[in-house]
Structures are given as structure tokens and as C-alpha cells.
């Protein structure tokens, strides 16, 4: 009988496709609402004794990849995906993913939908990880001998009209991910407290991130750096930014940054100044 405590992956314990077999018995898809109250899909994959599920992100399509509406996605799963995957080995993730791409057979996933392919793939991965009694991230990393990614966290969220859409806090040099997440949380909590103490009005975005001061990119970065210094964590964090492409003015070939239009050369100078302020990503 499997222990309730999840195990970390060990190559001696599991070889996914050569020795381990498990047939997909059923695949179901239902419409659900995500944390933002938006409609999306949840896919549930069933084996003989275990199941796995995944709720796909409801965000807009990215990089030209097409997401289907929840109703259409459910129909594609019932009529196309499910018949093709029933009785396949759910430990053979490469086979499953390649078959999903073949069933779609488009460059932008317009037939099955990017949301369908992602949700089905990860629901089946979840099924395999549950039967193996491994955390999902450990199971997935074992497939290609990869390591856990760096946990990049939003320190401050920019306004819709700001050049910097997100101010990112990126840990480095920690012994393990638990330590890095705990210290990251400490930095975020202290930053939030400082903002509430120094401002009469504080606003948050729909994810709960504190909004940065409008039109003051450098001041916001200095504020984050000061909190890092107060925690004596200069060697353990650097910063990143996610920029807003909507600030580009095609007619004038200029960029609207902190309420000032900059040329391409001035934009590069602006980036160089940010690099000197611990912004590395």
C-alpha cells in the first residue's frame, strides 16, 4: 500500500516507459471557474486505481497559439482526444504529447486548442505521478533529468499605462528551494508593510499584488533594493522587469516611460541604468 507521504524522485525507484505500465481508462473534461472568476476547463484522467487532474489557465492566447472556448474544448476532448488516448500507457509521456500534437496537426494549435493540449498532457502527468507517489514537479523533472526552476516572484505590479508591468524578485545562491521561498516571502512582506506605512492610499491588482507608484520606475526599484539591503540579502537576490509593449508609439518611434517619450537610444540608456540598479532580467 502506498504511503500518503509523497516521495522525491529516485532513478532507482522508477523507470517510466520501459518497465512501468498503466492504461488510461477514461478522460473527462468539465467547465470550471478560475481564481479570477473566468471560465476555463478542468481535465481529469483516470487509470485503474488512480486519477489525475489539471485546471488550465484562463489567460488570453499567447505567441499566436489558439485557445478554444471551454465548450468547444470539452467537445474536442470527448470526440477527438479521448478515443485516441484510451488504453495508452500514461507513463509514456513522450508518446502522449507527440500524439496530441499529431491530432492537432496545426502550427498554432487551432484544431485542439493550446488549452486542451496543455490540460490533457498535465492531467495524464498528474495521474502517473499520483500512482508513482511522487510530487508532480519531481515526476516531470525526472522525465528529462531537469531541475526545479528558479521561483520568480512579483514584488510590485505596474499599472496598465506604465512601461514596467511587473517588478520581479529573483532569488539566487540558496541551498534549496524551501529556503529561497521563505526568504522571498520575508522580502515581499516587509516591502508591502513599508508601502502601507508610507502611503495613505495603496491599491492592489486582481492577483493581490501591490501596485507600484505610477511613473516612478527607478524609485520603485530603489524601494525594493532598500528592503533587500535591510534584510542583508544583497548576495541572494537580483531584480527583473516585465515591460509593457503598449507604450510604444509607432508614429514617432518613441517609448513612453515614466510619462516621458524616449528614443531608441534613450531607451537603451534607461535599460543600462536599471542594470546598474541590480536589474538583471
pLDDT, tens digit, for every residue of 15-48?
444 446 899 999 999 999 988 788 999 999 999 9
From 62-71, 84-93, 105-114, the region with the lowest mean pLDDT = 62-71
Q: How far apart are CA 51 and CA 53, in angstroms?
A: 7
Instruction: Give the pLDDT of residue 222.
Output: 93
Interacting residues of 166 by C-beta distance below 8 A, sequence separation 6+ = 154, 156, 157, 158, 209, 241, 242
Distance of alpha carbon 167 from the chain centroid: 16
One of 3.30.390.10, 3.20.20.140, 3.40.50.300, 3.30.1360.70 is the CATH number of 26-144, namely: 3.30.390.10
Q: How confident is the model at residue 76 (pLDDT cuts 50, 70, 90)?
A: very high
- Provide mean pLDDT across the span 94-104: 95
Distances (CA, A) of 61 to 109, 110, 114, 241: 11, 11, 8, 21
94's grid cell: 513522450
Q: How far apart are CA 106 and CA 223, in angstroms?
A: 46
CATH 3.20.20.120 spans which residues of the chain?
Answer: 153-275
Instruction: Give the pLDDT of residue 249.
Output: 64
Instruction: Give the pLDDT of residue 35.
Output: 80
Instruction: Give the pLDDT of residue 2.
Output: 34
Q: How far apart are CA 195 and CA 28, in angstroms?
A: 46
List helix spans (H) across the chain.
70-76, 82-85, 93-104, 114-132, 136-144, 177-198, 217-230, 264-275
CATH 3.30.390.10 spans which residues of the chain?
Answer: 26-144
Q: How far apart are CA 207 and CA 130, in angstroms?
A: 29
CA dihedral 168, 172, 175, 180 (to 10 degrees): -10
Express each pLDDT in 132-189 by its tens digit: 888 888 888 778 765 667 788 989 888 777 888 889 999 998 888 888 999 999 999 9
274's grid cell: 536599471
Expressed in angstroms, the distance from the first to the final Cα of the chain is 46
Name the average pLDDT for the chain. Answer: 84
Helices (H) and strands (E) in the chain, counts: 8, 9
Query: Which pTM value belongs to this model?
Result: 0.55
> Long-range CB contacts (< 8 A, 24+ apart) of 160-163?
160/244, 160/246, 161/214, 161/244, 161/247, 162/212, 162/214, 162/215, 162/217, 162/244, 162/247, 163/217, 163/243, 163/244, 163/247, 163/255, 163/256, 163/257, 163/258
Question: pLDDT at residue 200 above 70?
Answer: no
Instruction: Give the pLDDT of residue 62.
Output: 66
Q: How confident is the model at residue 63 (pLDDT cuts 50, 70, 90)?
A: low
Instruction: Give the pLDDT of residue 16.
Output: 46
Tell me 80's DSSP state: I
CATH superfamily for domain 153-275: Enolase-like C-terminal domain (3.20.20.120)
Amino acid at each position: 500500500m502506498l504511503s500518503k507521504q509523497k516521495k522525491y524522485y529516485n532513478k532507482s525507484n522508477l523507470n517510466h516507459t520501459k518497465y512501468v505500465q498503466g492504461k488510461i481508462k477514461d478522460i473527462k473534461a468539465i467547465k470550471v471557474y478560475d481564481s479570477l472568476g473566468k471560465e476555463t476547463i478542468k481535465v481529469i484522467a483516470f487509470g485503474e486505481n488512480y486519477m489525475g487532474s489539471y485546471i488550465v489557465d484562463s489567460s488570453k492566447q499567447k505567441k499566436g497559439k489558439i485557445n478554444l472556448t471551454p465548450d468547444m474544448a470539452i467537445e474536442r476532448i470527448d470526440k477527438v482526444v479521448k478515443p485516441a488516448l484510451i488504453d495508452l500507457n500514461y507513463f509514456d509521456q513522450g508518446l502522449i504529447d507527440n500524439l496530441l500534437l499529431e491530432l492537432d496537426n496545426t502550427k498554432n494549435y487551432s484544431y485542439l486548442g493550446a488549452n486542451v493540449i496543455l490540460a490533457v498532457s498535465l492531467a495524464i502527468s498528474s495521474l502517473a505521478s499520483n500512482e508513482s507517489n511522487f510530487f508532480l514537479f519531481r515526476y516531470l523533472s525526472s522525465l528529462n533529468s531537469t531541475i526545479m526552476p528558479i521561483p520568480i516572484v512579483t514584488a510590485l505590479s505596474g499599472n496598465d499605462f506604465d512601461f514596467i508591468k511587473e517588478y520581479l524578485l529573483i532569488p539566487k545562491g540558496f541551498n534549496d528551494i524551501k529556503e529561497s521561498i521563505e526568504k522571498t516571502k520575508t522580502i515581499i512582506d516587509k516591502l508591502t508593510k513599508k508601502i502601507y506605512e508610507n502611503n495613505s492610499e495603496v491599491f492592489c491588482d486582481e492577483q493581490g499584488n501591490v501596485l507600484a507608484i505610477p511613473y516612478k520606475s527607478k524609485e520603485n526599484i530603489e524601494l525594493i533594493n532598500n528592503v533587500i539591503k535591510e534584510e542583508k540579502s544583497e548576495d541572494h537576490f537580483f531584480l527583473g522587469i516585465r515591460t509593457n509593449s503598449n507604450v510604444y508609439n509607432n508614429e514617432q518611434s518613441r517609448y513612453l516611460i515614466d510619462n516621458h517619450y524616449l528614443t531608441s537610444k534613450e531607451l537603451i540608456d534607461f535599460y543600462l541604468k536599471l542594470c546598474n540598479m541590480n536589474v538583471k532580467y
